[in-house]
Amino acid sequence: MTAILESEDTHTSPHGKAVLDDLAPLHRELRRAIPDAYKGFRELHEAAFAAGALDAATKELIALAIAVVEGCDGCIASHAQAAARAGATRQQAAEAIGVTFLMHGGPATIHGPRAYDAFCEFAGE
> Tens digit of pLDDT for each residue in 5-45?
334 455 677 888 888 888 899 989 999 999 999 999 999 99
CB 76 within 8 A of CB 23: no
- CB neighbours of 111 closer than 8 A, spacing ≥ 6? 67, 68, 69, 71, 76, 100
State the pLDDT at residue 2.
34
Average predicted confidence (pLDDT) for the chain? 89
In this prediction, residue 124 carries a pLDDT of 85
82-26-110-18 Cα dihedral, nearest 10 degrees: -70
| Mean pLDDT value of segment 51-74 | 95
Domains of the chain: 2-23+55-123 (1.20.1290.10)
- Amino acid 54: pLDDT: 97
Do 115 and 76 touch, CB atoms closer than 8 A? yes
